[in-house]
Amino acid sequence: MELHELVAFQANNLMGFKMQLPDVKDPQLHALYVETIQGLEQNLKDLLQFYPSAPHPARGGSKGDMTGFYAGHLLGFAKTAVRSYAIAITETSTPQLRDTFQKQLNNAIKLHAKIFNFMLERGLYPSYNLDKLLATDVQNANMALNM
């Protein structure tokens, strides 16, 4: 499942970076965005080779409903927040700060559950159907590559 996590994370961020690129005016930052985009594109191409049993939809990105992208972006943020708070709790020695981190971790877990359920209910994250999950990864990666 780590393959899925990496492909979903990178495809979602690749779409976001490509959407943001036209608004990045600083030449050095723009170059960093381009380098990041190219790196993510290569990563996805490399990782998609490990999806031999998943169907490969026809290439060609869709500019339609972006609900799945936006929800996936939120889910990735929430998952990262949970991990970051869990790590922060193990690294702090101040009891009040630890209590604050724990409260915020619990809120991040609740937010993650809400976003996950939103996506699951709408068929945007077929987590209980591995074949469909992998096919969705391939579809989203190809959409990101073709933006």
Please, which residues have CB within 8 angstroms of residue 60's CB and are 6 or more apart in sequence?
Answer: 146
At 63 the pLDDT is 56
- As a whole number of angstroms, the distance between CA 20 and CA 95 comes to 40
For 14, the token pair is 């690749």
Terminal Cα-to-Cα distance of the chain (whole angstroms)? 26
Domain boundaries of the chain, sorted by first residue: 2-145
In sequence order, what are the residues at sequence separation of 6 or more whose Cβ sits closer than 8 angstroms to the Cβ of residue 54? 131, 134, 135, 137, 138
Residue 94's region, left for phi above 0, alpha for psi from -120 to 50, else beta, is beta
- The type of residue at 69 is F
- Environment class of 44 (CB within 10 Å of its CB; exposed 0-12, middle 13-18, buried 19+): buried
From first to last of its 147 residues, the chain has per-residue pLDDT tens of 678 888 888 898 899 999 999 999 999 999 999 999 999 899 899 988 888 755 444 434 445 688 988 898 899 889 998 999 999 999 999 999 999 999 999 999 999 999 999 999 998 888 888 888 888 888 889 988 998
pLDDT at 56: 46
* pTM for this model (two decimals): 0.67
143/147 Cα distance (integer angstroms): 6
